[in-house]
Amino acid sequence: MQGSTSEDVYPIAFKHYNDGGTDLNDDGFQIRVHQGNISLDTTSPPFDLTTRNTMQSEAAAGEADFYTATTTGTSLEIDFADGYFQRITLAHSISTLTFANAPSANEGKSVVIQFVQDSSGSRTVAFSSASIKFDSGIAPTLSTGNDDIDVIGIDAVNDGSTTTYLGYALALDAQ
């Protein structure tokens, strides 16, 4: 869609009973995407949105809407309370990786971490220190060039007694 002036519309229909619970109504919303803007509006009553609720994308708004930090030592704590997307600039190699605000019993939480090498590069992350289970039991090796970017996803699942961390390499040496 880059450079496009067209608008894409994605209808979302749902059925519900009226206030009396006897008539089944078809109602819905539309998600509209136009030049990086996402808007939500209704396609039928009783959900009459008289104004469009619009969210600008981060690039269009020029503001970051995610957590950012730069490492200050060799330990890094990823806090699930800091949000789903976290951008961490590596100014140090990380030998101890921990998590805070993990899910409660019978819950799950996810985080996507964008690791960015600083201008010196050559920083590493010891994923094994956090007991993260990766595909085939092999943790990814982050790229180490100056300003390189790697994206790792983490799912934390608590089965009622134990929290398990599952890791996914989403993008390595993203360019």
Q: Are residues 119 and 156 in the same domain?
A: yes
Q: What are phi and psi of 59, to 5 degrees?
A: -65, -40
Q: Are residues 107 and 46 in the same domain?
A: no
Indicate the number of domains in the chain.
2
Q: Are residues 81 and 53 in the same domain?
A: no
Q: Are residues 54 and 75 in the same domain?
A: no
Q: Are residues 23 and 92 in the same domain?
A: no
Answer whether the bond into residue 140 is a cis peptide, omega within 30°. no
What's the distance, CA 124 to chain centroid? 22
pLDDT at res. 60: 37
Query: What does the alpha-carbon distance between residue 104 and residue 167 come to, in Å, rounded to a whole number?
Result: 19
> Is residue 1 included in any domain, yes or no?
no
> Is residue 2 included in any domain, yes or no?
no
pLDDT at res. 175: 78
Q: Are residues 75 and 149 in the same domain?
A: yes
SS in 3 state form for 54-70? EEECHHHHCCCCCEEEE
Tokens 């009622």 correspond to what residue?
160
pLDDT at res. 130: 85
Q: Are residues 49 and 93 in the same domain?
A: no
Q: How confident is the model at residue 112 (pLDDT cuts 50, 70, 90)?
A: very high
**Domain ranges, residue 115:** 67-174
Q: What is the mean pLDDT of residues 150-175?
A: 93
Q: Supply the pTM of this predicted model.
A: 0.63
Q: Are residues 24 and 83 in the same domain?
A: no
Over its C-alpha atoms, the chain yields an Rg (Å, rounded) of 21
pLDDT at res. 2: 46
> Is residue 55 included in any domain, yes or no?
yes
Rounded alpha-carbon distances, angstroms, from residue 133 to 30, 38, 63: 39, 35, 33
